[in-house]
Amino acid sequence: MIFNPNAETLAKDKLRALQTESLQNIIQYVYSNVEFYKSKYDALGIDISGIKSLEDLQKLPFTKKHDLRDNYPFGLFAVPQEKVARLHCSSGTTGKPTVVGYTKNDIELFSEVVARSLAAAGCKAGMKLQNAYGYGLFTGGLGLHYGAEKLGMNVIPISGGGTERQIMLLQDFQPEAIAATPSYLLSIIEEIERRNIDINTLNLKYAILGSEPWSESLRKRIETGLNVKATNIYGLSEIIGPGVAQESVDERGTGSYIWEDLFYPEIVDEKTGEPVAEGEYGVLVLTTLTKEAMPIIRYWTGDITNLTYEHSKSRTLVKMGPIVGRADDMMIIRGVNFFHTQIADVLEAYDFASANYQIELTRKSAMDIVKVSVEIEDAFLKSCDISKISDENKSSSEQLLQVRKTLEKKIKDCIGLSMEVCLCNIGDLPRSEGGKLNRIIDNRNI
């Protein structure tokens, strides 16, 4: 389903003309209303009247997360406080949170892009959405809520966590769709299986998942575990929240449509900041074209992905590929660049491996050591006549030894790093309780 055909199927020449006009307007707007941008452009000697085309955008500097923190809380706002209708902010786990604001028009824009996203995910007016994203300062809960209402859905605002209640409402309210982080939905599935609940008694058809990277193997696990079609919703608070991009339910696995009439995307080289060719991987940079309260110009998301029109079928908009890592989260281990999502790619090939894993980094005699803990499926253990993995059978079971050696070799072949693989039972590793799941434990500085 296409929510806004005029925007989502706009001819490319008309789209470019719209983007160009919107870009010229937003540059003038931020220069006139945000001291941060005015001072920065003046200091660099940039004449904004020279920004006449989309290519001219490259003349402007990037905006990075530290700019938001340096201007905490409201230094990047373009409107006075009395015109701000809502505030959201990040968790602030590394210091002061990054604050974002919305006018009433911005909230309408937020609702529009989420409604587009939910429609692309298969949702329709009249369906129920169980919204298991966290409400509050996090943009996920209210973002999905308002967008679902705009689409005409019946929203169940349960928020994150409370797995037992989540399952009760899935059974009693019979929603057709659920929105959550993929790691938390996996936790719900595992509890459903533990309680031997027949998924055919549920009414779920669609799962809208985001807020963290996830793999095709996890998609398969979720789709099989709940009998749903699972799609990725992408967004970040600094731009607007969830709804910057979305997978189409009928084009799963081929990338997510960016609503580029509202958010102009670029892919740039991580080191030089120069644009890369279509299809090449680099850092995603986004410019808001119509936001009022806190417009952002050339925001360095840190997400490593690519852009292409190659797989665009139902819409004329560009697609972004999966997030293969984050520029600021990239680990350099013994001279090799490494993203934790590469482990998920390795595990996809093996039915005996769960989608749940965790990486621990330690240092011994100036050497970085990587241990990867992987959960092994119960069905495989039963085929080995093992009920649970224990210290004893880890070292004595020929099948488990072979699994460990197979994974270690595959990781070395695919990633170029030697890593120790530790096999675990289902449930041994941490589970999400509604928020993002930390896949990396870095003990190198302890």
Residue 290: per-residue pLDDT:
98
Query: Distance from CA of residue 388 to its chain's centroid?
Result: 33
Q: Are residues 278 and 364 in the same domain?
A: no
Q: Are residues 312 and 374 in the same domain?
A: no
Radius of gyration of the chain (CA): 23
Mind listing the pLDDT tens digit of every residue in the chain (446 residues)?
Answer: 999 999 999 999 999 999 999 999 999 999 999 999 999 999 999 999 999 999 999 999 999 989 998 999 999 999 999 999 999 997 654 457 889 999 999 999 999 999 999 999 999 999 999 999 999 898 999 999 999 999 999 999 999 989 999 999 999 999 999 999 998 998 899 999 999 999 999 999 999 999 888 888 889 999 999 999 999 999 999 999 999 999 999 999 999 999 999 999 999 999 999 999 999 999 999 999 999 999 999 999 999 999 999 999 999 999 999 998 777 766 778 767 777 878 888 888 898 998 889 999 898 766 788 999 999 999 899 888 888 888 777 777 888 999 999 999 999 888 888 899 999 999 899 887 766 677 888 888 64
Q: Are residues 199 and 306 in the same domain?
A: yes
Task: Give the separation between CA 258 and CA 337, rounded to whole angstroms.
Answer: 28
Task: Give the separation between CA 199 and CA 209, rounded to whole angstroms.
Answer: 19
Q: Are residues 292 and 406 in the same domain?
A: no
CATH number of domain containing 436: 3.30.300.30
Task: Give the separation between CA 153 and CA 297, rounded to whole angstroms.
Answer: 33
Q: Are residues 94 and 220 in the same domain?
A: yes
Final residue of a structural domain among 270, 294, 327: 327
Q: Are residues 321 and 335 in the same domain?
A: no
Task: Give the separation between CA 183 and CA 214, rounded to whole angstroms.
Answer: 8
Helices vs. strands in the chain: H and E counts, helices first: 13, 21
Backbone φ and ψ of 7, nearest 5°: -95, -40
Residue 95: per-residue pLDDT:
58
Residue 443: per-residue pLDDT:
85
Residue 329: per-residue pLDDT:
67
Q: Are residues 89 and 202 in the same domain?
A: yes
Token duo for residue 73: 């809380």
Backbone φ and ψ of 53, nearest 5°: -135, 170
Final residue of a structural domain among 273, 307, 327: 327
Q: Are residues 312 and 405 in the same domain?
A: no
Question: CB 13: neighbour CB atoms within 10 A?
Answer: 8
Final residue of a structural domain among 327, 360, 383: 327
Q: Are residues 22 and 39 in the same domain?
A: yes
CATH number of domain containing 162: 3.40.50.12780
Q: Measuring CA to CA, which residue among 435, 361, 424, 444 is closest to residue 211?
A: 435
CB 278 within 8 A of CB 254: no
Q: Are residues 303 and 347 in the same domain?
A: no
- Determine the structural domain holding residue 264 and report its residue range: 1-327
Q: Are residues 411 and 301 in the same domain?
A: no
Residue 435: per-residue pLDDT:
65
Q: Are residues 201 and 312 in the same domain?
A: yes
pLDDT digits (tens, 9 = 90+) for 128-155: 999 999 998 989 999 999 999 999 999 9
Number of domains in the chain: 2
